[in-house]
Amino acid sequence: MITSLQNIKIRQGIALQKRRERDKTGLFVIEGKKMMEEVPIDWTIKEYFIQKSFYEKKENQWWLSTYMYSRFPNVLYSIVDDTVFQKLSDTQTPQGVIAIVEQKKYDQKEIEKQIFSLSTNPFFLLIEEIQDPGNLGTLIRTADAAGATGIILSKGTVDLYSPKVIRSTMGSIFHLPIITGVNLLDSILTLQEQGIKILAAHLEGILSPYKINLQQGIGILIGNEGRGLTEEVSKMT
Whole-Å CA distances, 70 to 40, 65, 74, 100, 199: 13, 6, 9, 17, 44
Please measure the distance between the N-terminal and C-terminal CA atoms of the chain and give it in whole angstroms: 56
Calculated CA dihedral for residues 232, 150, 147, 102, nearest 10 degrees: -140
Q: Is residue 28 part of a domain?
A: yes
Residue 152, pLDDT > 60, answer yes
Question: Can you count the helices (H) and strands (E) in the chain?
Answer: 11, 9
Residue 52, domain extent: 8-102
Phi/psi class of residue 15: alpha, beta or left (left: φ > 0; alpha: ψ in -120 to 50)?
Answer: alpha
Quick one: 140 and 77 in the same domain? no
Q: Quick: pLDDT tens for 191-213.
A: 998 889 999 887 666 677 777 77
For residue 116, name the pLDDT band (cuts at 50, 70, 90).
low
Q: Is residue 51 part of a domain?
A: yes
Calculated CA dihedral for residues 192, 132, 203, 220, nearest 10 degrees: 20
Looking at the DSSP assignment, which residues form a beta bridge with residue 126? 152, 221
Q: Quick: pLDDT tens for 70-80.
A: 999 999 999 99
Q: Is the dihedral of CA 8, 9, 14, 16 positive or negative?
A: positive
Q: What is the CATH number of the domain that holds 85?
A: 3.30.1330.30
Could you say which of 39, 67, 102 is where a domain stops? 102
Whole-Å CA distances, 166 to 2, 28, 31, 56, 141: 25, 9, 9, 27, 10
Give this prediction's pTM.
0.91
Quick one: 113 and 228 in the same domain? yes
Closest CA to 74 of 37, 46, 32: 46
Quick one: 70 and 186 in the same domain? no
| Pairing mode of beta strands 218-222, 197-200 | parallel
